[in-house]
Amino acid sequence: MFTIMNITIRDVDEQVFRKFKAESVRKRIKLGNALTNAMRTWLEKERGKKKVKKHFLDLKPFDWGEGTESSSVEADEILYAK
């Protein structure tokens, strides 16, 4: 359940607002409902961005192709002069 509220918003790009309002009219959606949906979508997108962060340990190994099986040993030999 939600509470209905009236708000005033400053510094809205006029052209963007006109297009947004026209689209809500075209789809027969009340402007307030369209704005609520837009805000929900934006919040979900922002929350999703924060979850994208991955830890180094989450990385999975992958195959570099034929002939690279001993690459790590070769790198060790070069780095550590073995």
Q: What is the pLDDT of residues 40-62, one digit of tens each?
A: 999 988 887 766 567 778 888 88
Tell me, what's the pLDDT at 1? 63
Closest CA to 32 of 57, 59, 55, 4: 4
Mean of the per-residue pLDDT values of the chain = 87
Read off the pLDDT band of 82 (50, 70, 90). Answer: low
Average pLDDT over residues 23-37: 95
Q: What are phi and psi of 59, to 5 degrees?
A: -70, 140
State the CB neighbour count (10 A cutoff) for residue 22: 10
Average pLDDT over residues 21-50: 91
